[in-house]
Structure 1
Amino acid sequence: MADRIQLLPEHVANQIAAGEVVQRPASVVKELMENAIDAGADQIQLVVRDGGKALVQVVDNGAGMSPADARLSIQRHATSKIREAEDLFRIHTKGFRGEALASIAAIARLELQTRPGEADLGTHLKVSGGKELSVEETVAPKGTSISVKNLFFNIPARRNFLKSPRVEFRHVLDEFQRIALAHPEVGFSLHHDEAELYQLPASNLRKRIGHLFGNRMQDRLVPVEEDTQVVRVSGFVCKPEFARKSRGEQFFFVNSRFVKSSYLHHAVLNAFEGLLRPETVPGYFLFLEVPPESIDINIHPTKTEIKFEDEKTVYAILRSAIKHSLGQFSIRPVLDFDSDPNLQTPYSFRERDAVTPGVTVDRDFNPFAEPGSPSGRTGPVGKPVARGWEVLYEGLQEGGPAAREGLEWTVESDARDGTLFPGEALQDLGGIASFQIDRKYILTPVKSGLLLIDQHRAHQRVLYEQFLKSLSSGQPVSQALLFPLRLEFGPGEMQVLEGLREPMAAMGFRFGKQEGKSLEVVGLPAMIPESEAESVVDGLIAGWQRQEGEIGFSTADRMAKMLSRALAIPPGKVLDAPSRQALIHDLFACTETRRSPFDKIIHTSLTVEELEKKLH
Structure 2
Amino acid sequence: MADIIQLLPDHVANQIAAGEVVQRPASVVKELLENAIDAQATSIKLLIKEAGKTLVQVIDNGSGMSATDARLSFERHATSKIRSADDLFQLHTKGFRGEALASIAAIAHVELKTKQEDDEVGTNLIIEGSEIVSQEIVVTPKGTSIAVKNLFFNIPARRNFLKSNQVELRHIIDEFHRVTLAHPGIHFMMYHNGNELFNLPESNYRQRIVNIFGNKTNEKLVPVNEDTEVLKISGFVGKPEYAKKTRGEQFFFVNDRFIKNAYLNHAINSAFDGLLKDGTHASYFLNLTVDPQTIDINIHPTKTEIKFDDEHTLYAILRASVKHSLGQFNIAPVLDFDRDAQLDTPYNYKDKGVSTPQIEVDRDFNPFQEQNNFKEQRSSKQATAFKKQTPSSWDSLYVGLESKGTQSQQEFTSVQFETEEKTASIFNDDKALENSKSTYQLHNKYIVSTIKSGMLVLDQHRSHQRVLYEDFLQHITVKESVSQQLLFPIELHFSTQEIDIINQVKEDLEHTGFVFSNVTKESVEISGVPVSVPASEVSVVLEQLISDIENEVPDSHFSSADLLAKSMAKSLAVKTGQTLTVPEQEHLVNSLFGCKEPNMSPFNKTTFITLSVDELDKKFV
Is 1:64–1:142's contact at 8 Å kept on the other side of the alignment? yes
Moved more, 466-475 or 334-343: 334-343
Write the distance in 2 (CA, Å) between the matches of 1:3 and 1:549: 50
Counterpart CA distance in 1 for 2:193 and 2:231 is: 42
The answer to whether the 8 A contact 2:77-2:97 is kept is no
Letter in 2 for 1:301: P
1:432 corresponding residue in structure 2:
438
Aligned to 1:367: none
Task: Spell out the pairing of 1:155-194 with structure 2 (5 A cutoff).
Answer: 155-194=155-194
CA distance in 1, matches of 2:538, 2:486: 11
CA contact (8 A) 2:60 2:145 kept: yes
* Counterpart amino acid of residue 166 in structure 2: R
8 A Cα contact 1:427 1:577, kept in partner: no
Aligned to 1:546: 551
Distance 1:157 1:92 in 2: 37
Q: Deviations over 1:241-277 (max 9, x none)?
A: 1112233211111111111223322322222222222
Q: Aligned with 1:145: secondary structure? A: strand
Q: Answer yes or no: is 1:228 the counterpart of 2:228.
A: yes
- Residue 65 of structure 1: aligned partner: 65
Give the whole-Å Cα distance in 2 for the aligned partners of 1:197 and 1:428: 61
Determine the C-alpha separation between the residues in 2 that align with 1:609 and 1:554: 43
Letter in 1 for 2:72: L
Given the alignment, which residue of 464, 469, 475 partners 1:470?
475
Q: 1:45 touches 1:60 (CA, 8 Å); kept in 2?
A: yes
The answer (yes or no) to whether the contact 1:174–1:492 under 8 Å persists in 2 is no
Deviations 1:546-591 (A, max 9, x none): 3238897543332222111111122343333433333333334434
Confirm whether residue 533 of structure 1 aligns to residue 538 of structure 2: yes
Matched, 1:461 2:466: yes
Q: What's the offset of the Cα at 1:169?
A: 2.0
Of 543-552 and 38-47, deviating more is: 543-552
Measured after TM superposition, the shift of residue 531 of structure 1 is: 2.6
SS at match of 1:597: coil
Q: Amino acid of the residue matched to residue 567 of structure 1?
A: L
Q: Does the 8 Å CA contact 2:491/2:523 hold for their aligned counterparts?
A: yes
Paired position in structure 2 for 1:129: 129
Render the CA deviation track for 1:502-546: whole Å, top value 9, x for unaligned: 443443334344322223434433322233222211110111223
* Aligned match of 1:354: none
Aligned partners of 2:167 and 2:553 also within 8 Å? no
The structure with more radius of gyration: 2
Structure 1 Cα separation of the partners of residues 327 and 620 of structure 2:
52
Q: Deviations over 1:452-476 (max 9, x none)?
A: 5443223222212322333444433
Match of 2:501 in 1: 496
Distance 1:296 1:596 in 2: 46
Secondary structure of residue in 2 paired with 1:258: strand
Contact 2:216/2:493 (<8 A) preserved: no
2:524 is paired with a residue of what secondary structure? strand
- How far did residue 32 of structure 1 move? 0.8
Q: Match of 1:297, as an amino acid?
A: I
Residue 277 of structure 1 is matched in structure 2 by 277
| 5+ long unaligned stretches in structure 1 | 345-424
Aligned mate of 2:513, from 508, 515, 524 = 508
Query: Quick one: distance in 1 between partners of 2:46 and 2:160?
Result: 24
1:338 and 1:591 map into 2 onto residues whose CA distance is: 65
* Contact 1:106 1:129 (C-alpha < 8 Å) held by counterparts: yes
Match for residue 325 of structure 2?
325
Give the Å deviation of 1:447. 6.8
Q: Which residue of 2 aligns with 1:120?
A: 120
Name which of structure 1's ranges 105-114 and 287-296 shifts more when overlaid on structure 2.
287-296
Which residue number in structure 2 is paired with residue 203 of structure 1? 203
**Cα distance between partner residues in 2 of 1:436 and 1:341:** 56
Q: Which residue of 2 aligns with 1:586?
A: 591
**Structural RMSD (CA):** 3.1
In structure 2, stretches of 5+ residues that fail to align are 345-430
Identify if the C-alpha distance between structure 1 residues 295 and 610 changes in structure 2 by more than 3 Å, giving closer, same or farther. Answer: farther
Cα distance between partner residues in 2 of 1:322 and 1:547: 32
Q: For each residue in 1:396-450, what CA deviation from the matched residue of structure 2 results, as whole angstroms up to 9, or x when unmatched?
A: xxxxxxxxxxxxxxxxxxxxxxxxxxxxx9962753252452x444455667777
Superposed displacement of residue 309, structure 1? 2.6
How far does the alpha carbon of each residue in 1:83-104 deviate from its partner, in whole angstroms, 9 at most, with x for none? 2233333322102794311111
Distance 1:58 1:595, change over 3 A: same
Kindly provide the CA deviation profile for residues 65-96 of structure 1, in whole angstroms up to 9, marking residues without a partner as x. Answer: 11111111011111112222333333221027
Offset, 1:30: 0.7
SS at match of 2:434: coil
Matches within 5 A, 1:193-592: 193-336=193-336, 428=434, 431-435=437-441, 437=443, 439-442=444-447, 453-481=458-486, 483-548=488-553, 554-592=559-597
1:401 maps to which residue? none
The alignment of Structure 1 onto Structure 2 pairs a total of residues equal to 536
Note closer, same or farther for the CA distance 1:270–1:148 as it changes in structure 2 (3 Å cut).
same
Q: After superposition, where does 1:5-24 map in structure 2 within 5 Å?
A: 5-24=5-24
Asked if the contact 2:499–2:522 (Cα under 8 Å) also holds between the matched residues in 1, the reply is: yes
Matched to 1:536, the amino acid is V
Residue 299 of structure 2 aligns to a residue whose secondary structure is coil
- Range with bigger deviation, 156-165 or 585-594: 585-594
**Alpha-carbon distance in structure 1 between the residues aligned to 2:175 and 2:478:** 41
Alignment partners' CA distance in 1, 2:313 and 2:277: 28
Normalised by the length of structure 1, the TM-score is: 0.79
Q: Distance in 2 between matches of 1:328 and 1:615?
A: 62
Summarize the Cα distance change of 1:83–1:96 in structure 2 as closer, same or farther, 3 Å threshold: closer
Contact 1:224/1:322 (CA < 8 Å) preserved in 2? Answer: yes
Task: Check whether the contact 1:478–1:526 (CA below 8 A) recurs between aligned residues.
Answer: yes
Cα deviations by residue, 1:196-221 (Å, 9 ceiling, x for unpaired): 22222211110111111112211110
1:140 and 2:140 aligned: yes
The separation in 2 between residues aligned to 1:330 and 1:215, in whole angstroms, is 22
2:216 match: secondary structure: helix
Q: Report percent identity of matched pairs.
A: 56
User: Which amino acid counterpart does residue 219 of structure 1 have in structure 2?
Assistant: E
Helix, strand or coil for the counterpart of 2:210? Answer: helix
**Residues 178 and 341 (structure 1), Cα distance of their counterparts in 2 relative to 1, 3 Å cut:** farther
Kindly indicate whether the alpha-carbon contact (under 8 Å) linking 1:448 and 1:607 is maintained by their aligned counterparts in 2. yes
Q: Deviations over 1:311-345 (max 9, x none)?
A: 2332232222211111111111122356669869x
